[in-house]
Amino acid sequence: MSAASSPGAKRIGVFGGAFDPPHNAHVALAQAALERFGLDTLYIIPTGQAWHKARALSAPVHRLAMTRLAFKDVPRVVVDDRELQRAGPTFTIDTLQALQAENPQAQLYLFLGADQFAAFRQWHRWQDILELAIICIADRAQSTLAQTQFDAYTGHANRFFTLKLPLMAVSATQIRQLMASGVATAKGIAQLVPEPVARYISLHQLYRSH
């Protein structure tokens, strides 16, 4: 048995995203992850300009600030800016390897939504990711998990778990669109993002159309 799977090994969760902006489903996912998997620490990792997102993201400084605000009251969360600091494309495998090196005894758990999982086999070195981390997938309203999606991973079945949480239809795209259309003020998105995030968006006039 490897050290990583020893009983009592530290459990470290990793949850990455553009967080442009972070919203209530991200926070709900983090809370459920901490609780269901008994995590010691959950790293929230805003991504750099990810290779698979065509859209230019908001400035790292804003996404990092909003992510810190969104998760500030969630215990055992560490918002980690290492991917924002990295020059060039950022890959999840590099982050996982770094975290494993920093925590050699720990078992890593990688959390993602079902939409991301649908494209998982296009991720850089996905087989190495599977070696390093247990993959925990949350259903999304527009992208629910089908058992057939796991058929491609025969031999790795024990590396996947689903994270049950109530379906939440919110997306960052929806929030950006609401703000850009001018129909929403900070008040208008108050149901979708944590309150300090709504205030930050308003203060910095993010997602306004030009």
Angle between helix axes 24-36 and 60-71 (nearest 10 degrees) is: 50
Cβ count within 10 A of residue 29: 22
Determine, following the binding rule CB under 6 A, whether residue 81 of this chain makes contact with ligand ATP: no
Determine, following the binding rule CB under 6 A, whether residue 171 of this chain makes contact with ligand ATP: yes
As a whole number of angstroms, the distance between CA 95 and CA 67 comes to: 18
Residue of 115, 125, 150, 202 that binds ligand ATP (CB under 6 A): 115
Determine, following the binding rule CB under 6 A, whether residue 170 of this chain makes contact with ligand ATP: yes
What x/- string results for residues 5 through 34 when contact with ligand ATP is judged by CB under 6 A? ------------xxxx----xx--x-----
Determine, following the binding rule CB under 6 A, whether residue 63 of this chain makes contact with ligand ATP: no
As a whole number of angstroms, the distance between CA 192 and CA 197 comes to: 10
CA end-to-end span of the chain: 57
As a whole number of angstroms, the distance between CA 11 and CA 126 comes to: 21
Nearer to ligand ATP, 106 or 123 (CB): 123
Sites of contact with ligand ATP (CB under 6 A) = 17-20, 25-26, 29, 112-113, 115-116, 138, 140, 168, 170-173
